[in-house]
Amino acid sequence: MRLADDRDDTLRAAADCALDCLRQRAFERLHASFGYALALGREPDAALRHDAGQAVAELEGRDADWRQRPVDVLIERLRDDAVGVVATLDCRLAAGPAESASLLQLVITRKDGQFWLTLEGVGGG
């Protein structure tokens, strides 16, 4: 997803859009909007459906109400963006039985003065 800038409020708004897709199990829309960096040789849309489906099933096993829980969007700015990575976002549950479980990991890159947000991972913690 192309971003207008890399301000924190812009990043959090984009993360909220990705979280909405995850909550609604709208995996095709999640992939269409954010891509998926961890397809690892698999067809990206199918890989995301598989990985996100497993992550959601695990979350539901730990906390049936995870969709209604607040989420912290943790932004880590990288000092050396020589490879183009500007920041990472980790979206974690802020309450409930699965508190601090990672829902989504996103990466912000800069190329030719433009910022891009890509889905790096789903679940995982």
Q: Which helix (H) or strand (E) holds 76?
A: strand 71-77
For helices 27-34 and 44-62, angle between their N-to-C axes, nearest 10 degrees: 120
69 pLDDT tier (thresholds 50, 70, 90): very high
Per-residue pLDDT at 67 = 94
Instruction: Please state the length of the chain.
Output: 125
Sorted by where each starts, the structural domains of the chain and their CATH numbers stand as 2-122 (3.10.450)
Could you report how far apart the first and last alpha carbons of the chain are, in Å?
24
Per-residue pLDDT at 38 = 86
For helices 27-34 and 8-23, angle between their N-to-C axes, nearest 10 degrees: 150
Pairing mode, strands 114-122 and 102-111 = antiparallel
Per-residue pLDDT at 88 = 95
pLDDT, tens digit, 9 for 90 and up, residues 73-115: 999 999 876 678 999 999 999 999 999 999 999 999 999 989 9
